[in-house]
Amino acid sequence: MNLPFQPVVLWTDGLLFLLVAVVLGFVRWSRHEEHLRAPWRKVARSRGGMIAVTVLVLYAGVALLDSLHYRRALPTDKPGAEVTYAPEVLSVLDTFARPLRDGSERTFSAPFAATAFVKETITRADGTQVRDFPRLRYGGRLLENPDVERVPDIARRALGGLAAGVLLWVTLAGLVTGYVAHRSGETFAEVSAAAWRGEHALPLRAILLTLGGACAVIVPLLVLSAHYHVLGTDKVGQDVFYLTLKSIRTGLVIGTITTLVMLPFALALGIMAGYFGGWVDDVIQYLYTTLSSIPGVLLIAASVLMMQVYMDTHADTFDSITRRADFRLMFLCVILGVTSWTGLCRLLRGETLKLRELDYVQAARAFGVSPWRIMLRHVLPNVLHLVIITTVLGFSALVLAEAVLSYVGVGVDPAMNSFGTMINAARLEMAREPIVWWSLFSAFVFMFVLVLCANLFADAVRDALDPRMREQVSPAAALRRARALAASTRSVA
């Protein structure tokens, strides 16, 4: 059967959806285990944590849309002829953002501009030439007189987008409230009233206000981006808003797939070192001590350069630029994972040294249970809180690491969009007069929001899963306990 498109599965696409499947499987498993549900219930009641989750879900949605790749079928005039597919690999996000991708200019243009950023020689109808700012081919193309019509047109379209955003927010708020009411057995009116008073067990008001803010910003931007370059264009005329959206997937892939590579090393070696001790512990300690003593940036740079030589000498292995860039991204994830497992391995070793001396582990040994079964059934479940806390905290560090590595030239392929490549491309433009600031600003804002939300979510997970944090009492709770104790003392007296 001849399809109008050919699905393409890249390495990072498969690994990313595998990680999504693992997360969904863990959620399903946790729902049937009370000791796992309790801490995550505490995360769900954290206002900052749920605000961060709401924003991270939006980022993840963009990344997943950008991970569904395909090739378009080329048009043919012969009926019944075999379909030939284009060599260019596109994603579903590219389809939705087609006006942004196809609406490129010649060079720089400022946000919401209708003319180019630099003057050019323009030939008039009468044959004379002048130096002026030429009209853009895409931005503000419907305006006859940009100097007069541009600001009112932007305001009108922004208000229309804001109205559409409010409508979308009301719909989403109704769906979220209805789902919570269905799960809790309450009526829709009861949940709505408790949410807006801030009295519901879940921080619904914070979640709904976050959704409202996101709709109020995103929908007007999407409406305006159909007629303007809302974040300007770069040196070759590409829309910066489109490049920023494409960079989200790269940051999330670096932060998540690196975890898939790092966890097997850290879990296996850390638990084995702590449980077996002896020469096994000595070998593993020597291994991660040696690896930690090597400067990480130098090791990554050397590995990337060797991989680049392989790619140059085996160019026929890759049938498209996208596959070549994806292979380099996957290799970078592997290198980051191999060099970042040592910290978690140390933590797991120390925790396992403590767990192996507990009574239930000693009893399992006395009954002849094999060491591997003890590590899987008794040790591993009791160190999962360390694993989750460390991986969530390390996500933001990996996103920033990609930006730094791409900035110094040993990160992702130059053909792949990322925050690091955007910052590197904008570096030289900061010395221009007038300054070209919007590329650096866009990458900074989107990366800042991503890292900030990841850190807020990591704090909520740490507070819920770390036993030391659970044992701490908040000042407000301590004050209430002191007042109750004082009242009971007075009543007894």
CATH of the domain at 359: 1.10.3720.10
- pLDDT of 450 over the 80 cut: yes
178 plus 273 within the same structural domain: no
Sign of CA dihedral 202, 203, 204, 208: negative
- pLDDT of 115 over the 60 cut: yes
Domain contains 45: no
224 plus 245 within the same structural domain: no
Apex 179 CA angle, 43 and 252, nearest 5: 50
- pLDDT of 168 over the 90 cut: yes
pLDDT band at 213 (very low <50, low <70, confident <90, very high): very high
Domain contains 68: no
274 plus 339 within the same structural domain: yes
Domain contains 445: yes
- pLDDT of 484 over the 90 cut: no
- pLDDT of 490 over the 60 cut: no
* Most confident of the ranges 32-46, 52-66, 69-83, 290-304: 52-66
- pLDDT of 89 over the 90 cut: no
Contact (Cβ atoms closer than 8 angstroms) between residue 52 and residue 454 = yes
How many domains does one find in the chain? 2
432 plus 318 within the same structural domain: yes
Apex 396 CA angle, 391 and 400, nearest 5: 130
203 plus 223 within the same structural domain: yes
Preceding omega of 467 cis (within 30 degrees of 0): no
177 plus 246 within the same structural domain: no
Domain contains 336: yes
What does the alpha-carbon distance between residue 248 and residue 419 come to, in Å, rounded to a whole number? 8
335 plus 282 within the same structural domain: yes
Burial 301-332 (b: 16+ CB within 10 A, else e): bebbeebeeebeeeeeeeebebbbbbbbbbbb
**Would you state the pLDDT for residue 62?**
93
Q: Which domain holds residue 434?
A: 240-468
pLDDT, tens digit, 9 for 90 and up, residues 216-253: 999 999 999 988 999 999 888 889 999 999 999 998 99
Contact (Cβ atoms closer than 8 angstroms) between residue 259 and residue 391 = yes
248 plus 365 within the same structural domain: yes
pLDDT, tens digit, 9 for 90 and up, residues 7-50: 888 888 988 888 888 888 888 888 877 777 888 888 888 888 89
**Would you state the pLDDT for residue 473?**
46
Domain contains 331: yes
pLDDT, tens digit, 9 for 90 and up, residues 390-422: 887 788 888 888 888 887 777 888 888 888 888
Domain contains 73: no
245 plus 224 within the same structural domain: no
Domain boundary pick from 175, 204, 229: 229
Domain contains 453: yes
220 plus 358 within the same structural domain: no
What does the alpha-carbon distance between residue 216 and residue 182 come to, in Å, rounded to a whole number? 27
Domain contains 301: yes
160 plus 303 within the same structural domain: no
251 plus 323 within the same structural domain: yes
Task: Tell me the mean pLDDT in the region 471-490.
Answer: 50
**Would you state the pLDDT for residue 469?**
56
Instruction: Say which residue, 363 or 477, is predicted with more confidence.
Output: 363
pLDDT band at 487 (very low <50, low <70, confident <90, very high): low
- pLDDT of 430 over the 70 cut: yes
Apex 379 CA angle, 378 and 382, nearest 5: 95
Sign of CA dihedral 160, 165, 166, 167: positive
**Would you state the pLDDT for residue 169?**
93
